[in-house]
Amino acid sequence: MTQFELLAAGSRGHQRAFSQGQISEVPPVGAERPGHSRVGSKTDFILPPEHKDSTKAEGATSRISTKGHSRQASTSESTYTLRNSDPPHLWQKLYYRLTRRSPRSEQEERIRTVVPNHIVPPKTPRKVHPNGRRPNNRIRTTKYTLLSFLPRNLLEQFHRVANLYFIFIVLLNWVPAINAFGKEIAMIPVLFVLGVTAVKDLFEDRRRHASDKKINNSTCRIYNREHSRYRKVLWKDVRVGDLIHLSNNEVVPADILLLRSSDPSGLCYIDTGHLDGETNLKQRQVARGFIEKQRWFEPSKFRSKIEVESPTTKIYRFHGSIVHDSGQRVPVGTDNLLLRECLLKNTDFIEGIVVYAGHETKALLNNGGPRYKRSSLEKQMNQDVVWCVLILILMCILGAIGCKLWLLAFPDLKSPFREESDQIEAFLAFWTYVIILQIMIPLSLYVTLELCKILQVYHIHHNVDLYDSVMDKRIECRALNITEELGQIQYIFSDKTGTLTENKMIFRNCAIAGIDYNHPGLENEAQNCNKQGNLSVKVNEQLVTDLNQGVTAEHVFSSRNVHSARIQEFLLLLAVCNTVVCSKHPHHDNMNASGIIEALPNILSSAEEDSVKAVETASPKSRSICDKYSRLEESRSVTPSPPLNAFGADSKRSYVPTLSPIESVENSESMEGQASSRSLRPKLLSIPSIGFLSRKSNSTVNLTDEEKVKLGHAASPLSPSDLKPIYEAESPDELALVDAAYIYKCRLLRRTPTEVTVDVPMKGRHQEIELSVDNVEKKIRDSYNYIECNMTLLGATGIEDRLQEGVPETLTALIAAGIVVWVVTGDKPETAINIAYSAKLFSPQMELLKIMARSKESAESTIRCYLADIELQSNQAENAEEHCSAGCSSRIGPQMPKPQGRALVVDGKTLTYILDRRSNLTKPFLKLTTACNSVLCCRATPLQKAYIVKVVKEELKMRTLAIGDGANDVSMIQTADVGIGISGQEGMQAVMAADFALSRFKYLERFLLVHGHWSYDRLSKMVLYFFYKNATFVFLIFWYQFYCGFSGSVMIDQMYLMLYNLLFTSLPPIAIGVYDQDAPYRLLRDNPYLYKRGRLGQAYRTYSFWMTMADSLYQSVVVFWLCKMAYEGTDVDIFEFGTATTTACMCVMLLHVSIETRSWTIIHAASIFCSIGAFFLYSLTYNTFCVNCFGLPSTYWTIQISMHRPQYWLVTLLACVVAVLPRLLFRVCQTMFAPDEVTKALLAERKSQRRGGKFLVSWSRSTSTSSIYRYS
């Protein structure tokens, strides 16, 4: 069996670590795989056995759609981030049938051909053009056009049930038999709400339009066949198949296949910060076969076709091939593709062909707005709106019944009192009541709620306490409609690396041949730099001594010489498997303004030549870089180098590695170093593509002394039994010592030619695999697995990752607030547990429970055992309490000290069994977690993170928050009720997928415990007040029906009815919803347990709504019957009575909101005085100048006459006292006899202060622009 047959038959040796976004399945029971299997990395997608991967089916097609919303794609794509393909809509099927067209075939959808546009005859119709069906590069992110704005915006607003309801009321009012108001007047509230929303949408769309226009009118150079040169064109005019020329620091306008680079090695570097937020430069290389043509590449002679896959959202996945005229096919992949919105860096110029343009580029496919979420408060509010509908229907039915009973009591009544039969009159009365009682459904509540949330987000964003001056970042709010959810979080799921830690990997230790070499770190690198800017590095004296012993050893096979060789091989591996990028400034493009490409300038300038000479004449102790322009195949120099001199602390010259920043980066395929006895020039036979480089760095190296060695360093730890130690002294205990001492370790491996040989046929086989279309990633992975087996362990490195500032204090406060914190990480248990103790997630007093099972039966037995033990402890505690309550003072037996809480640790393998629904372990596991204070999940994959959040939400019915910083946290962030991204070292993918973005984990404390608490409490009070004031006003109209024969008449002027919510009572709810505080910042910060009010939803419960309805019912009775009794027997008309009732109701409303206000500011006072002022100002103006406006009954001089009557002022005063007195007494009694936690804390704080003094309420820009004083 040949090596290719072996590769096809199955993987040998260890299994390669999976990349980010790769799904690994649990192998079937009984399946055997030779060799060992490496533990998956922290970004593996290990699915439960029941999960079926929908992306495996070969030939599966997907229709590319640019409509709707797509979250930011990442390297950890999962079922939570991928956009599902939608079936054809009904209108599409109808279109295909009418036009006699058919959807594109399956093969066309999977593979498309791109033809260079300059070889297509000019003026070719688009229908027959090879690239004619591809979209142009114009982008349009706007929702509306000039013609579609009005109909589409109205259509979107009519998706709200409340808007549809009020449109129905307006149409109902046009029916002559049941109209209650003026037709034009009844439209005012609906038109106002629709108009405000339309203006807001138009403003947002205009901003998008301006951004699109700026992008579309950017320029780039496109090859023009008529002028045989590159000419500047607008981005929107770029087409698929165009050859494009870009200079350094230019933005890539479309997805481009790289064909030429100014670097003779065919390399270029791009900054993908605009795409994924990562700041490190990405390397791309010219397609295979074009590297040798860099100097004489002519665009007019490029006639090859490009076959690529259909556009996908996966930014790190691309497969295709270049088909030459001769039929030769050359594979291309992700490392040959430049994506739109990337920035060309460290390269003079590049040239390529456009393969995806416009909305088919990966950047546009992944461009989605913030996800719409509904908070728990909004869901509960919608339920109460349904109750309002039922109350409205009940009142309408009672009114219709009353109308029929009143007509039956007067059978002799004729027209106009009885136009139809009693049944028809009752039916018409029902719909009349629907019209006059319509404000029972709070239409303006949704607009006010949305406005309050926007203002809350604005103040949170500008809060100086959430501003990070080091990173110059503020909190970013991407979701505008879930601010109150921040005050109700019950579970927090947090990543570890980069979220709790700095994610700054600092080298601290290495172990070579069983000897530990420590590397003391520098606390401040800036202070350790000399005047020339060189960093002074501390040298490990023991390492220098051991390395020098190999030079002074007398016998070549002595132990000292062998150990020195191991150290050199260890250091060589570190040099080969890592890349150093040298940049020169400035970069010059060799294309002039006319688009003519001039000859390449001299490679080295005079200054650069001096730098190179300095390197050549440097001490032999320093490593030198070979000339990047000499290809390794062409340069076979075997000139012996001088022996490696000993270098130590007593050396005259310090050891300074020198890199010369010549034209661009050095050739990545060769390196030259000086060894003790020979010139060492390894050649890289294979560099994994971008997707595989994300898992681990490795390279296949060919040494010129005919020794072939496989060098690589693994980021995922391997079992010592799976490796061949290069020394016998190393043991698993020693490796565990490195694991315990440092957060991360990297093991360095090698392979000798006696074990396997990588030859040219194998390389050709690998190229054939890259040309395939189906399952190409799996085949490439198997190819690497075949090469990477039987590795030999050289040593290990220890990396330190420190905790972020304030993490222990933040976690302590969150746990004290009653929030259950889960840390879900991909790290090994030992490291994660140490971090948990350091971050104060675990305490030494906690009982540590561990579940690390390797079978379903073992996991089940462990969980059952822990549950039984917890139940036994609970029963013993109850028996002890009963024994003590019975008066027994004697102790029975010795008592063991009780642990202060429990902490649970579970690994990823166990989670695989727990998350499998067939195992029936999910509920027992969740029951166990509820008995624990904190939970730590180790070796968790991105999909497992999302599943954990999902099961907690669905099974425990808890409100969850997920926080992370990397691409592997995207699924978890999107699954949680609230997702928070940390803008750390792993890019911005988590931020772009999150609802909120923080720069540091420590800001989470204030964000939740203060702003979340305020937001929930404010909106709860605002919603309840909205229900209260609307219901009170409606009840007043309903009580009047008992005195008008249930005729549907209204004693209040129609303009007052329409402007009641829009003008008279609109400001106080906004003041409450944005600026009210039940407790100051300092009190909430020092007492985290006050978060319990929001966590348990105590501010807005079901009974809160019904208490509000009862209060409004009582106050409406007081206001109406006081007015009735005051004006009974007088000669006032209906509108004067209605004006007095409206005035009393307005004053009661404002007095009620004054009682409910907890922190008085100038804003609260202004809202109340402006409301009452607006009412009187409008009434005086309206009754003075409007004699017969809008065809309504005249109310001329009504309020002026009323204000001259003593009953008017007496009723208003009595109504305010009698109506609000029960509410005031209830608040007083509640404060004295049954205060809540917040009230207790406020009272305790006030008692500690001096009586009669004043204290400053802590207000920042989140509340007001100035400090506010409150008096006690």
Q: Is 1139 annotated as a binding residue?
A: no
Return the SS3 of 391. Answer: helix
Helix (H), strand (E) counts: the chain:
38, 36
The one-character DSSP state at 262 is S
Who contacts 57 (Cβ-Cβ below 8 Å, separation ≥6)?
Answer: none
DSSP assignment of 299-329: GGG---EEEEEPP-S-TT--EEEEE-TTS-E
Query: Is 495 labeled as catalytic in the residue annotation?
Result: yes
> CA 1163, CA 1147: separation in Å to the nearest integer?
18
Burial 1123-1158 (b: 16+ CB within 10 A, else e): beebbeeeebebbbbbbbbbbbbbbbbbbbbeebbb
- Distance between CA atoms of 256 and 271, rounded to whole angstroms? 15
3-state secondary structure at position 251: strand
d(CA 391, CA 1020) in angstroms, rounded, equals 21
**Contact yes or no for 1119/1148 (Cβ under 8 A):** yes
Nearest Cα neighbor of 803 from 750, 743, 730 is 743
404 in a known ligand binding site = no
Binding site annotation covers 1045?
no
- Given the residues 495, 916, 1053, 1111, the one annotated as active site: 495
Do residues 1071 and 1169 lie in contact, with contact meaning Cβ atoms separated by under 8 Å?
A: no
State yes or no: 653 annotated in a binding site.
no
Show the tokens assigned to 1048. 């549907």
Residues 840-843: contacts with CB within 8 Å, 24+ apart? Answer: 840/808, 840/809, 840/811, 840/812, 841/811, 841/815, 841/903, 841/934, 841/936, 842/903, 842/934, 842/936, 843/900, 843/901, 843/903
Residue 274 Cα to chain centre, angstroms: 15
Whether 1010 contacts 460, CB under 8 Å: no
1265 labelled ligand-binding:
no
Nearest to 1014 by CA among 1194, 1158, 836, 860: 1158
**What is the separation, in whole angstroms, between the first and last Cα of the chain?**
91
> Is residue 104 annotated as involved in ligand binding?
no
Cα dihedral angle (838, 841, 846, 851), rounded to 10 degrees? -100
* CA–CA separation, 1272 and 1246 (whole Å): 8
The string of DSSP codes covering 678-711 is SEE--EEEE---HHHHTT--EEEEE-TTS-EEEE
For residue 895, the tally of other CB atoms under 10 A from its CB is 9
- The identity of residue 659, as a single letter, is L
Place of tokens 């993918």: 989
Binding site annotation covers 825?
yes
Establish whether 579 is an annotated binding residue.
no
The token pair at 221 is: 């150079």
- Give the CA count within 13 Å in the CB-facing half-sphere of 303: 8
| 827 annotated ligand-binding residue | yes
Residue whose C-alpha is closest to residue 902's, from 842, 860, 852, 949: 842
Dihedrals φ, ψ of 515, to 5°? -105, 130
Q: Which DSSP symbol is given to 1192?
A: P
The reply to whether 692 sits in an annotated binding site is yes
Ligand-binding annotation for 945, yes or no, is: yes
Transcribe 78-130 into DSSP letters: -TTTSPPPPPPPHHHHHHHHHHT--PPPHHHHHEEEE--GGGSPTT--TTTST
Question: In the chain, how long is the greatest CA-to-CA distance?
Answer: 133
Consult the annotation and say whether 224 binds a ligand. no
Among 39, 74, 19, 69, which residue's Cα sits nearest to residue 969?
A: 74
Give the DSSP letter of residue 468.
Answer: B
Would the annotation count 887 as a binding residue? no
Per DSSP, the residues of 1205-1265 read: SHHHHHHHHHHHHHHHHHHHHHHHHHHHHS--HHHHHHHHHHHTSPTT-EEEE---TTT-S
| Known binding positions | 495-497, 692, 747, 825-827, 939, 945, 965, 968-969
Active-site residues, by number, are: 495
Residue numbers belonging to the annotated binding site for Mg(2+): 495, 497, 965, 969
Residues of the binding site for ATP: 495-497, 692, 747, 825-827, 939, 945, 968-969
